[in-house]
A and B are shown apart, each in its own frame.
Chain A
Amino acid sequence: MLAPVAGRQDTTEIRVSPAEVTDVMRTLHDDGAFRFRVLADLCGVDTGEVMQVVYHLWSENSPDWLRVIVDGLPRDDPRVPSMTFMWKGAEWAERETYDMFGITFEGNRDLRRIYMPPDYTSFPLRKDFYLADDAARSPGEGFRHMEQVRPPAAADRPLLTRRSKVQ
């Protein structure tokens, strides 16, 4: 656990590291006290500094949604274990997260792009992926190609992202 259990409104939140997420999820799923059988959602988040993978679980024993955040994945090579051994339905969700964020799910046997074409090279939902309109407003002013993360002229400037105040 990376942080104490937090709760707000109808959601309980726990943060774990990539190394312990398999055990945590297995306990939540199998333990008779928890029985979180429904994987309500699986998605990736790019906070601008680190990558996260966020799971939402539902159990008949709990009135709250349970949010499990796998925190602190490095931006250059984010890796987390796959949940397909427990929920086979996570397969496409993980493919989508891989497609959009470039997060590798170790153990997913079909981790290829799902929306973007197979020869596509960038990850659109990362915060350093600009829309064409956005590039004009950015501090790295002037034209930049949509898929080019940092133009050579701006190489000495810090990587521009909309940094999050939410951690």
Chain B
Amino acid sequence: MAGEATATGTAPVARVRVPARSWRGDARAVKIVWQRELIRFGQDRLRIVTSLVQPFLFLFVLGTGLSRIASAGTHGVDLRTFVYPGVLCMAVLFTAMFSAASLVWDREFGFLREMMVAPVRRSSLVIGKCLGGATVASIQGVIVIALAGLVGVPYAPTLLLGVFALQLLLAFAITAFGVMAAARITQMQSFMALMQMVMMPMFFLAGALFPVSGLPRWLELLNRLDPLTYAVDPMRRIVFTHLDISPAARHALDPGVTWFGWRVPGALEAAVVALLGALMLAIAIVEFSRAE
């Protein structure tokens, strides 16, 4: 191994033996792919700033501006407090998608090949990428969580913990979705177009900006089909349980998602997100494991 000298070399030649494939090797691969995402994110300060612009606009500009006309319907609750969980989910959504998009860049710049020929399971590369994207998106989420106090959301430990766990789950699921898409879509323009087409409807339909009860039938149906709904709703529920507000306000603003009149428990909602994430991760792994 290291330091073994050969007859021909002047300097000692550090020869290396690549071990047979093992779970440890795959774990190392997961870790290094994850680390690369973090290094890249840390270097890209501009991205950290730009991806915060949108949540700021929604929370402080739109939230503040609309709060004057919305005050009649919010039963005294700050509109910004109400939209806060939705905006947090949006921040996570965008960051996670962009992380997944880097896979398309990797393909275009050839780096994907370097990973694809490595003697590791493709699944470890996919998992590493998803974990990396999820971590990066969560860091972004944490910045938004830190803003909670500015919009009337209390810094209660159980609230912060619950919200953090939910946004981590969402970040993972969204990255898995993006990676799955990136397995098929090889051009950046197409990928970005698809993301735009998917993300905005997902965000608007999820009830990030409005309560999910008493909607017209068509909108209610679309809302219940939108996976993001099942991240926004439990997050809002956690926030609202920590607010000291009237039952009427609670009923109007946090009615909860219902399936045929049955209120879906928060744990089940989180399970829906987790399940969808796992499913998309599995599809992504299958897609990347196929050889030409």
User: Are A and B co-members of a single complex?
Assistant: no
Name A's B-contacting residues (CB within 8 A): none
